[in-house]
Structure 1
Amino acid sequence: MQPTVAAQRLRGHGLKAKSFLWQRIRRNWWLDRTCIIFLVTTVVIFGIIYYFMNVMANVASKRSRLIEDQLGFRFTLPDVFFEFIGYIDKLWMTDMFDVLMFIPTGALVIWHERPWRVVSRLLLAWGLAALIKITTMAITSVPDPRPTCEYVVGNVFTTFTMHRCGDAIYSGHTLIFVICAMVWSSFAPRNWIGRLLTAFAWALCLAGSLIVIANRAHYTIDVLLAWYIGPGAWYTVAWFWYWHVTRKGRLLKIEFPVEVGRHKNADSDELCQRRRMELGLLPDGTPFDPLALYLAAGVGMAPPTGLVDIEAGDFSHTLEKSGSASPEDIGAFGAQGHVVDIDAVGVEGAHQVNVADAAAGAQLERIYSEDFKR
């Protein structure tokens, strides 16, 4: 029995979707060994941080019980927002907002042109903020704002529970909301759809924060601290990533899965070239090195210079003459400082290197690229 036309079309669409998915995995998700080691190390460190955050939450829960034992009753510290937001006993809603933030953020990661870059930035920022929480929650014990919370009574290293007493400073749920919203702010598409979804993510973040306060899962100060620390950790990681990964040409399969300087497949070659120049990188992603560039131009021996010094500020070039270089060679390299003509070194053919363009890239070292701004 021959398949119908509709079945053939459906099968054809299925094959196209499968081919598109496989090509996207190979193009945007495939990693080399160095990047795999980095990601595995990041995940392991993140897991260790979260484990010890759970341990310190258990310690805080046991220490906070001392307040109730000494007073003989529970009480809540004064809180301005508690006076305006009524109490609701629906703690499951705080976890629901975690899911509401995770699902669209996960979809953004899957669809993004540089998914592992988003994952790396998210885990590093989230881990840094969680590390800060480890140092704060068990230092100062405060009465728990929720009257129905339960104290941890088991071993602090093996007990795993949620919404325990004493887990106060600061709000881990709100931290998740803020970090996911920061992902949307930095990596959402730069069009009206992306802006609308980013605004929706921040609206969810604000609503989830109010739900945390309404459930008395945290004091308002705990929620505010999460709002302060989350973006701070995000942009701290962004600064570190820009200067120590992007600018130094590291983790290229994470930073630029398709091509160095290309954020999206639709980016023009001119735009990619401009990004490489702004980052001070060569097309293969390695940092700009004038001496290496000179040698790569085709010289099969040591260059006739003892010193090549390129100052980006005024494009001045100093060429110290060695025994085999003629004054004409020195003038070709250093007089105008733009085109190097290598003919007198024994290599057939002329090789020209545009030093001015490379120096222009070096001059932009102090300019924050759009990567760092994002």
Structure 2
Amino acid sequence: MSLYIGREASKLWKRFWAEITTELKLLFENWKYLVAGIICQYIHGLAARGVHYFHQPGPILQDVGFFLLPELGQDKAYISETVFTFIFVSFFLWTFHPFILKSKKIYTVLIWCRVLAFLVACQILRVITFYSTQLPGPNYHCREGSKLATLPPPGIRGVLYGCGDLIFSSHMIFSLVFVRTYQKYGTRRFIKQCAWFTVVIQSLLIVAARKHYTVDVVVAWYTVNLVLYFIDHKLPELPDRSASFLLPLSKDGRTKEENHKLLNGNSGDPIDRRLRTPVNGKFLEEGNTVHVDTVMNGV
């Protein structure tokens, strides 16, 4: 038993190290895109804080969602944040699954370059929108009489207690970007279905918690999906993981094939490769029996 555990640990370590080598090479080539995306996240945060200066508390606008959905109340407002945190953490961990699992369809660096491009495009539209018109915030701390409704902002808590950045919901931007990305590059159909169901529940909870008006959520649904559809067709497709041209070569010339087996499992069977081949930019889901003999629409 101990020999078996040691052998499996050795395989896991080799697979992990091979993945690190590959991802570091990709990181060296694409670091500027990641840095630019992270900087844009910071700028978006500054813009959301800046609009707080212009926010004026007032009567809550009439909203059909407020009539249809019962109000959670301040003591239960954390529920929507908990669901969002679950979506965020789950997607984040999934993007790093190639370091551990044999079955791998994506490169972590490249998938995050793509995700950040989606987020930046949506957030630019969001900043333009909420600076165009400031609505009275429906959240509890943004209402008339609250000390947090106007600046000075509440220190580092400004992320949770911002006001004025309403149309459209930032939580929905992240959730929809993550779910659509998994919809395209994920392999488990059941998880995809659960992910979409969770985003729908998240939409309802945001309104029920009075963090956004219904229009903020509705605009996010069609804006984010349209933006992702447009940008996804403009960006180059992610490379096929069955291709090994990104893997480092060794002096003996054999590491290329060995790393290929490490990154894609121990088996080099052609059937396994056919299952890993993307069709029209979409990866086959587990459980499908379709086999593809040639790479279609490759990079």
Give the structure-1-normalised TM-score: 0.58
Q: Aligned pair 1:267/2:267, yes or no?
A: no
Q: Compared with structure 1, are the counterparts of its residues 187 and 129 closer, same or farther at alpha carbon in structure 2 (3 Å cutoff)? A: same
Matches of residues 53-202 of structure 1 in structure 2 within 5 Å?
53-65=44-56, 68=57, 74-88=58-72, 89=74, 90-111=76-97, 112-115=104-107, 116-149=109-142, 150-154=148-152, 160-189=158-187, 194-202=188-196
CA distance in 1, matches of 2:19, 2:38: 29
Alpha-carbon distance in structure 1 between the residues aligned to 2:119 and 2:3: 47
Match of 1:23 in 2: 18
Q: CA deviation at 1:54?
A: 2.2
Kept after mapping to 2: 8 A contact 1:179/1:230: yes
1:129 is displaced (CA, Å) by 0.6
Q: In the alignment, residue 79 of structure 2 is paired with which amino acid?
A: M
SS in 1 for 2:159: coil
Q: Contact 2:169–2:217 at 8 Å: present in 1 too?
A: yes
What residue is the counterpart of 2:258 in the other structure? Answer: none
Equivalent residue runs for 1:212-291 within 5 Å: 212-242=206-236, 246=237, 255-256=239-240, 258-259=243-244, 265=264, 266-268=272-274
Answer whether contact 1:117 1:255 (CA < 8 A) is retained.
Answer: no
1:45 aligns with 2:36: yes
- Would the aligned equivalents of 1:61 and 1:164 in 2 still touch at CA under 8 Å? yes
Higher strand share: 1
Q: Which residue identity is paired with 1:183?
A: T
Q: How far apart are residue 179 of structure 1 and its match?
A: 0.8
What percent identity do the matched residue pairs reach?
A: 18
Summarize deviations over 1:161-192 as a string: whole Å, max 9, x none: 32322121110011111111101111111xxx
Structure 1, unmatched stretches of 5+, are 1-5, 69-73, 247-253, 276-368
Change (3 A) 1:371 1:98: farther
2:197 corresponding residue in structure 1: 203
For residues 101-131 of structure 1, give each alpha carbon's deviation from its aligned partner in whole angstroms, at most 9, with x where no partner exists: 1232223322343223322211110111111
Shift of residue 370 of structure 1?
A: 5.8
More divergent stretch after superposition (80-89 vs 224-233): 224-233
Aligned mates of 2:52, 2:176 — CA distance in 1: 25
What is the identity, as a one-letter code, of the residue corresponding to 1:21? F
1:163 and 1:371 map into 2 onto residues whose CA distance is 46
Name the SS for the 2:166 alignment partner. coil
8 A contact 1:58–1:159 mirrored in 2: no
Contact 1:54 1:160 in 2 (8 A): no
Q: Which runs of 5+ in 2 are unaligned?
A: 98-103, 143-147, 247-262, 265-271, 281-295
Q: Distance in 1 between matches of 2:39 and 2:157?
A: 15
Structure with the bigger RCO (C-alpha within 8 Å, sep 6+) is: 2
Give the C-alpha shift of residue 48 in structure 1: 2.8
Measured against aligned partners, the alpha-carbon deviations of 1:246-282 in whole angstroms (never above 9, x if no partner) come to: 5xxxxxxx63564369xx953249x79x99xxxxxxx
Q: Whole-Å Cα distance in 1 between the matches of residues 298 and 70 of structure 2?
A: 43
Kept in 2: contact 1:56–1:137 (CA 8 A):
no
1:306-317 matches, within 5 Å, as: none
Larger Rg: 1
Q: Distance in 1 between matches of 2:214 and 2:245?
A: 45
* Distance (Å, rounded) in 2 between the aligned partners of 1:216 and 1:255: 42
Indicate how the Cα distance of structure 1 residues 207 and 144 shifts in structure 2: closer, same or farther if over 3 A, else same: same
SS at match of 1:154: coil
Instruction: Give, in whole Å, the separation in 1 of the partners of 2:157 and 2:136.
Output: 21
Q: Distance in 1 between matches of 2:92 and 2:45?
A: 24
State the alpha-carbon separation in 2 of the partners of residues 11 and 235 from structure 1: 46
State the TM-score, normalizing by the size of structure 2: 0.71
- CA contact 1:122–1:179 (8 Å) conserved in 2: yes
